[in-house]
Structure 1
Amino acid sequence: MSGKRRAAVIIVAVLSTVSAGCTKGSTPGSQPTATASSDPAGKASATVTVSRTPTVRVTPPAVLAGEIVRTVFSDKSGTSRQESTVRADPRAGQEYWLRAACTSPTPGKTLAFKVVSAKVGAPDTPLVSGTVPCDGTVTANGIGTLPAEPIMVDLEGDHTDVTSAYALITPMRGGLDD
């Protein structure tokens, strides 16, 4: 085998290994590409590129029975938008679920949720807070009882690379699908 051909075979083998490593755990839509070349002098070079373009967005469910508030974040073509809708005040003594989901092409990315009073003049102290992984899965947390006053849920943190997210609060009645 000639020196040039051997170098090309080695480069292809290395690129195959590197490309496989780049795709392991990558987000849907990642398109790794690898190129190998050698110049007339027989010097080999290699380039590996991984493009992280999300192909999946989370879509909030239709309004759920007893839903009291929802916040939806979206980023389309570089334009970010976060919108909250308050539907009702919590009922005294009622326990609630917080359901949230988020997507990002960045592995390990999370957003924070913060439930706060929306009562005029109320402090910004969280009634409940936590994190939501931006991996497209729905997170459901029992958040206990809330005061019988208007509340909001905020999605906070670094929204860079977040393509979509939502958080909503519904009464706990014995199951997540109630």
Structure 2
Amino acid sequence: MHGPPVVAWLLVALSVAAALMCVLRGGARAEALLGAGMALMAVPMSVFDPPRWGSAVLAAVFAAAALEAVRPSPHRPAHRMHHSVCAGAMVYMAAAMAAAGPVHEGHAGHTGAGGGAPLLTGLLLAYFAAYVLRSGARLVAVAGAPAPLPATGGAIRLRHAPEVAAACRVAMALAMFAMLLTL
């Protein structure tokens, strides 16, 4: 990832936290995979110099996740489409990392090659910005409404609350937006 190391480490922390929350929620394996992949891709190149084939492996994993997300299912088609866009964006970023060429002075892609297609990057940036603003506004509206706390098992029920899942998706979309900015 390009950009200041502090931003990269904040993205790593955000992505790991989102991935862990997805693992704790149980059925969110695809989201956990995306969060872990985002964390791995955000590690500054000065700390971790991935092998040349690493980007191809990441692209293949995310392509499989994208195919899984678009598989026909009666459950929440808009949510599954969002997952396919996220996985597709991860494939795109991994391919751009691979196309960036060899690592030069601790950072890949500073040779002027790679970086992705500006139009596609712009479309993905617009998608994730709109997603964060729309979903974030919904979360704020939900947070403003008074709701009783569960009497028993509060931590376990909170972990499975739909608001927690939505907050994880917003956090990952925000991290995706930041990663696309540095592409």
Q: Same fold (TM over 0.5)?
A: no
Structure 1 or 2, whichever has the larger Rg, is: 1
Higher helix share: 2
Give the TM-score taking structure 1 as reference length.
0.24
Flag the structure with higher strand content. Answer: 1
TM-score normalized by the length of structure 2: 0.23
